Structure formats: C-alpha cells, structure tokens
C-alpha cells in the first residue's frame, strides 16, 4: 500500500450517514466525518466535515386521470400538476405507455358495459392519449401544468400509464390514465 493510499484511507474515517426529512417533506442525506491531516513532522490535525445532499423528488397532483365516456371523434381535455419540492432544479420527461385497463376501470364504464353490446374489447392505445409538454426543467419549489387529451377512435375502453422520470430520480412516477370511447350522444358537460 502506497503512502497516498494509506493517507486517503486515513483522511476520512467514521463517516456518519443520516437520512433526514424536512418539515416541507424534502428528503436529504447528511454525511458527517472528520478530515484528518497528518503532516511530515507527525503533527495531526482534524477538521469536521459535513455535507448535506438534497434528494431529487417529483410530486404529482393526482394518481388517476379518468376521462370517463367521450364520443368517438370528440376530444376531451384533462391535466395534472407536477411539482418539485426540493431546493434544486429538476429535469423531467414524460411518456405514455400503453396498458390494458382492469375490468373494473370506472363506474361509468361498468354501467355502459351493462347497457351497451356495441362496446369493443378493452385495448391499450397510448396514441389515443396525448400530453403536452413532454419534458422540461422545474425550478426549485415550482410546479407546472401538464395537459392530456383523449380522442377515442372507436367504441372501446382505453388505458395508458403516464410515466414521469428524470435523470436523478430513482424510479419513475406513474399516473394511470383511462377513458372510454362511445357512439352514444352524451350531454355536454363543462370541463370535458
């Protein structure tokens, strides 16, 4: 072992690592140790060292976006807010991943299946849903609106997962998105 390696092993020792959660819900990791310097004359000096690392986080305002029934050919709009509760900027991107909905997707879907025999089988189709924007940078403690549209091409149940990820996030944040295309004339409801 060289003198440099011994010195490096000796410099930082007994590192204390503590996981913290602030009052605002921000997660941090604190590292504490002592930097020990040994001089050529064998004099030893220790300096306290502390580093606090804010862990990246992305929050969503809802875990499910349910478009319910939309007439084939129409377009419905919904949205959600994403937020960055941390003290650092957060790069993010979003994508829609096709998935099959569960048979119990919504009350409206269950009721329509009982009264309608024209409903096509469930099918995944992320292309039926659109989102905007698809990426961005969230400033510290900021939030941003993400818009989703649903334009069913046929009389069917649609489902997708909205995955929000970032280079520093450990796992994607997922939001389930569902909707049903219908040929029935639906009364216009504000906000749909």
Rg (C-alpha) for the chain, rounded Å, is 26
User: What integer is the mean pLDDT of 166-181?
Assistant: 91
Residue 189 lies in a domain: no
191 part of a folded domain: no
Residue 124: phi and psi, rounded to 5, are -85, 140
Note whether 83 and 110 are same-domain residues.
yes
Residue 190 placed within a domain: no
Residue 33: CATH number of its domain: 2.10.70
Say whether both 43 and 120 belong to one domain: no
% pLDDT > 70, the chain = 74
43 and 74 fall within a common domain? no
Shared domain check, 24 and 63:
no
Per-residue pLDDT tens over the stretch 96-108: 998 764 444 444 4
Same domain, 48 and 87: no
Looking at the fold, whether 43 and 136 belong to one and the same domain comes out as: no
User: Rounded to whole angstroms, what are the CA distances from 168 to 56, 155, 172, 182, 188?
Assistant: 6, 40, 10, 41, 43
Least confident of 4-18, 121-135, 167-181: 4-18
50 lies in the same domain as 74: no
What's the CATH code of the domain at 130? 2.60.40.10
- Residue 49 lies in domain: 3-54
Q: Is residue 159 a part of any domain in this protein?
A: yes
Task: Answer yes or no: is 100 within a domain.
Answer: yes
Location of structure tokens 């499910």: 64
pLDDT tens digits along 37-77: 888 898 889 899 999 888 888 999 999 999 999 999 899 99
- pLDDT at position 107 is 40
> Is residue 167 assigned to a domain?
yes
Number of domains in the chain: 2
2 has pLDDT over 80? no
Say whether both 128 and 150 belong to one domain: yes
**pLDDT of amino acid 92:** 96
Same domain, 76 and 134: yes
- Distance between CA atoms of residues 70 and 179, nearest Å: 7
User: Residues 23, 96: one domain?
Assistant: no
């Amino acid at each position: 072992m060289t003198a440099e390696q011994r010195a490096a092993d000796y410099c930082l020792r007994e590192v204390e690592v503590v996981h913290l959660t602030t009052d605002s819900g921000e997660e941090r990791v604190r590292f504490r140790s002592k930097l020990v310097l040994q001089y050529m004359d064998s004099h030893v000096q220790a300096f306290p060292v502390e580093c606090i690392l804010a862990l990246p986080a992305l929050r969503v305002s809802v875990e499910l976006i349910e478009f319910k029934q939309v007439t084939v050919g129409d377009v419905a709009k919904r949205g959600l807010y994403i937020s960055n509760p941390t003290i650092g900027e957060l790069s993010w991107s979003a994508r829609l991943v096709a998935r099959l909905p569960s048979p119990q997707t919504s009350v409206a879907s269950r009721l329509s299946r009982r009264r309608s025999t024209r409903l096509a089988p469930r099918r995944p189709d992320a292309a039926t849903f659109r989102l905007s924007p698809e990426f961005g940078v969230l400033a510290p403690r900021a939030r941003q609106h993400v818009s989703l549209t649903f334009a069913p091409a046929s009389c069917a149940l649609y489902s997708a997962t909205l995955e929000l990820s970032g280079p520093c996030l450990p796992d994607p944040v997922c939001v389930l998105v569902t909707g049903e295309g219908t040929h029935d004339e639906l009364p216009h409801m504000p906000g749909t």
